[in-house]
Amino acid sequence: MAIPMPDEHALRASPRRDLVEAFHRLYQGAGRPGTRAIATAISRDTRLPSTVSHETLSALLHGRAVPDWSRLESAVRHLASVSIHRPEPEPLVLEFHVLWNAERDAAPAPASEAKAITAEEWFAVMKTDDQIRDWDLVDAVEAVGVRPDEPLTLRTAMLLLAWVERARNTRHSPMETARRVSAFPQIRTRRLSPPPDLLRRLDETDQ
């Protein structure tokens, strides 16, 4: 499913928005391919500097996170090669490098200004990304003990994702779960290492 450009409520005017808008123009010119298809094509092209996961591409298209330069360059070069406009790759790469540096140099928004994401909103995003196909939100939030309209923290997001993965028999390690959750900067935390009591609760979901 094609990913639309985030509106100004989801991604305010900023160097990041400038970068995401430019990437969306390239993405649209390439026919809006699926993020998994893009990631697979990049991984098969040995001329590109780095591989890129479909989660990273999705996070970029949604404006949630910007990857490091080698991953962005790989995505730009690939999409340029399949774009209907056939842009010259080198000037395009230089343009994106300027946008990427501007985004990196911009001061991060204070945490108080970031809009928290709720369990219900996160569920909608994950369904759109086709990362979670069979997640029954009601069952998940009841099992974890969180309200659908409650702002997520690392703790609750990891428990929700662990519960869903258990139901789908796609269990990941706690650190892999934390990595997937950290793609959403609206989740209120800067910590990627789960605390010990959370590890115990994650283990309990496998019982």
* pTM score of the predicted model: 0.56
Q: What is the pLDDT of residues 114-130, one digit of tens each?
A: 456 777 776 666 655 44
Q: Is the dihedral of CA 146, 151, 157, 161 positive or negative?
A: positive
Q: Give the position of tokens 């995505």.
A: 75
Length of the chain: 207
Reported as a single tens digit per residue, the pLDDT across 35-54 is 999 999 999 999 999 999 99
CA 80 from chain center: how many Å? 21
pLDDT digits (tens, 9 = 90+) for 66-90: 999 999 999 999 999 999 999 999 9
| Main-chain dihedrals φ then ψ at residue 151, nearest 5 degrees | -60, 135
Q: How many Å apart are CA 30 and CA 82, to the nearest integer?
A: 5
SS3 151: strand
Q: Is 194 exposed, middle or buried (0-12, 13-18, 19+ CB in 10 A)?
A: buried
Q: Which residues are CB-neighbours of 188 under 8 A, at least 6 positions away?
A: 111, 114, 116, 151, 152, 153, 154
- Band of the pLDDT at 111, cuts 50, 70, 90? very low
Sequence-separated (6 or more) residues with CB below 8 Å from residue 48 = 42, 73, 74, 77, 78
pLDDT in the model for residue 138: 63
Please tell me the distance from the alpha carbon of residue 15 to that of residue 155, in angstroms, as a whole number: 30
CA proximity to 190, closest of 126, 121, 108, 123: 108
Six token digits for residue 88: 């010259």
Backbone dihedral region of 110: left (phi > 0), alpha (psi from -120 to 50 degrees) or beta?
beta
